[in-house]
A and B are shown apart, each in its own frame.
Chain A
Amino acid sequence: MIVANRKPFEEIIEMLKPYSKILLLGCNECVTVCATGGSKEVAVLASEIRMYRQKEGKPVEIREVTLERNCDPEYVESLKPFIHDYEVVLSMACGCGIQFVGEHYRDRLVLPAVNTTFDGVTEEHGVWAERCQGCGNCVLDRTLGICPVTRCAKSIFNGPCGGSQGGTCEVNKETPCAWQLIVDRYKEMNMLDRYLEIQPMKDWSTSRDGGPRKRVREDLKI
């Protein structure tokens, strides 16, 4: 899932300064699962904004809407009947959703209420962690299911670097060293000899380095 964090309240309030009629948008997908931008969080943020602006003597009208998805046209188009009743859209969807809604309604600004952070998993209740950077050329077969691109702070292919200590990364003691995990996995699978293979340089052209990516399936086009 795409994981996001809500922006600091002060930043949101500052963005909303010129506006008094706001459409607050949530999403039922990833940001709901990571408890950032689902209908619950939309309701909480709406109340916070209303209360703050009331106290400031600049009350606002907020409509709360949570779409099934913000990344599909059919759902985004459902905003059409009422989006123009509002001066601005404040979105709690991920960066994809924020942009996509903006692309559909060019006369409205869509402001971000969240910082989109990573593609990850729920490690435990309330804990999400990054797993994939979408490099476009998966190597998980070679590293036995642990991604060095994403999980090594230096994305190195022939690790671990000299900063790996006690199983953790030099960048953050809370972060496991990806290469410690890979070596452990090699041992677990009785494949430590694979460690001696020098991993070749990565072709980053399939990654974002090759420019924004697009996938087209002609057979699915209508």
Chain B
Amino acid sequence: MSTQSNLERVLTSGAFAVTSECGPPRGADPEVVKKKGGFLSGYADCVNVTDNQTSVVRMSSFSACLVLKGMGLDPVMQMVCRDRNRIAIQSDILGAAALGINNLLCLSGDHQRFGDHPTAKNVFDIDSIQLIQTVKQMRDEGKFISGEEIKGRPNIFIGCAENPFADPFEIRALRLAKKAAAGAQFVQTQCVFNVEKFEKWMEMVRDLGVHEKMYILAGITPMKSIGMARYMKNSVPGMDVPEEQIERLKGVPKEKVAEEGIKIAVETIERVRAIKGVAGIHIMAIEWEDRVSEIVKAAGLYPRP
């Protein structure tokens, strides 16, 4: 064990990890974060805080992480390359580590075109893989990108994301291998709806031996409604929602759709858990954090180690 990360502790112990996510509010009220954190407390080994996801301005991941930290949770600060150059990135990494944030998830970031400020200029000075390298170099070599020495290394557990459902499919496992080689220690995947495709991807991941180099957490998102399922299928880039899942939600009475969504999520957890090389799950219950405890319990993953 090299960091103070609770997630790292759980993963290295060999336990099946459960992580979850908290989307920060579009305002300055910390109570919103506290409320969401309260729902997740005791049910997730760590809580990701998204970084202006879908390029919509929200409370900074850094600040919301500190709010969660204050509640005794272990936050994962998500960091995108869209809004920061290498100067700001390294500065934020030092700041996060100084204030006890133990985990960083390295992302390229959604293009600003999707957000509420499509006229913004983007940065993309470095990409997600180079961001992983940066954190690793800062932590392990005590050096900035420039090569200059860091006084007080940031002790961070390094994570990344990968989308097994994006194209070209054949390089998606190779890309994860690149991330592992760059220094990522865990990956949280895009939401898994198409389990068969995920299984195929995992097979390719295992063939490359990547599951032995990093911990793989499968992304789980419960569907709240048929509208949400359709939106995910048709409007979110890189999302693979099989038609039969939408049909299944359509097949139950309106008031039971949410329950069915939760049921599908729990079944998906059981299925991915059985796949060799899957070390945990990452529950992204979008604006539905209050149902995470129910999912974790139903999946037999409560109490947490």
Contacts and interface: CB of A to CB of B under 8 A. Distances in A.
Interface of A: 153-167, 170-172, 177, 180, 183-184, 192, 195-196, 198, 200-202, 204
Chain B interface size band reads 35 or more
B123 to A, nearest CB: 10
Given A170-B238, A195-B171, A160 B111 contact: no
A65 B128 CA distance: 50
Given A154-B124, A196-B178, A201-B126, A162 B166 contact: yes
A171 B111 contact: yes
A164 B166 CA distance: 6
B238 A163 contact: yes
Interface of B: 81-82, 86, 108-111, 113-114, 122, 124-130, 133, 145, 161-163, 166-168, 170-171, 174-175, 177-178, 181-182, 190, 237-238
Contacts of B178: 158, 196, 198
Contacts of B129: 157-158, 198
A160 B133 contact: no
Contact of A164 (B122, B168, B170): B168
Contacts of B174: 195-196
A172 to B, nearest CB: 8
A43 B264 CA distance: 65
Contact of A157 (B110, B127, B166, B238): B127
Contacts of B145: 201
A195 B208 CA distance: 14
A198 B133 contact: yes
CB-CB nearest 7 A-B residue pairs? A162-B163, A170-B237, A156-B127, A163-B237, A158-B129, A162-B238, A154-B124
B231 to A, nearest CB: 15
A83 B111 CA distance: 45
A153 B111 contact: yes
B182 A198 contact: yes
A150 B178 CA distance: 23
A122 B255 CA distance: 55
Nearest to B170: A183
A154 B125 contact: no
Contacts of A196: 174, 177-178, 181
Contacts of B86: 201
23 contacts: A153-B111, A154-B127, A155-B124, A157-B130, A158-B129, A158-B178, A162-B237, A163-B110, A164-B168, A165-B167, A165-B238, A167-B168, A170-B111, A170-B237, A180-B168, A183-B170, A192-B171, A195-B174, A196-B177, A196-B181, A198-B181, A200-B130, A204-B125
Contacts of B125: 201, 204
Contacts of A166: 167
A159 B81 CA distance: 13
Contacts of A157: 127, 129-130
Contacts of B114: 170
A158 B128 contact: yes
Contact of A161 (B108, B122, B177): B108
Given A177-B167, A198-B178, A164 B133 contact: no
Nearest to A200: B130
Contacts of A184: 168
A184 B237 CA distance: 20
Given A153-B113, A163-B163, A166-B167, 4 more contacts: A156-B124, A183-B171, A198-B129, A201-B145
Contacts of A160: 166-168, 171, 175
Contact of B108 (A154, A201, A202, A204): A154
A158 B134 CA distance: 14
Nearest to B208: A196
Contacts of A201: 86, 125-126, 130, 145
B201 to A, nearest CB: 13
A161 B163 CA distance: 8
Contacts of B171: 160, 183, 192, 195
A180 B171 CA distance: 10
B162 A162 contact: yes
A166 B82 CA distance: 23
A197 to B, nearest CB: 9
Contact of A167 (B122, B167, B181): B167
A178 B201 CA distance: 22
Contacts of B127: 154, 156-159
Given A170-B238, A198-B129, A204-B125, A164 B108 contact: no
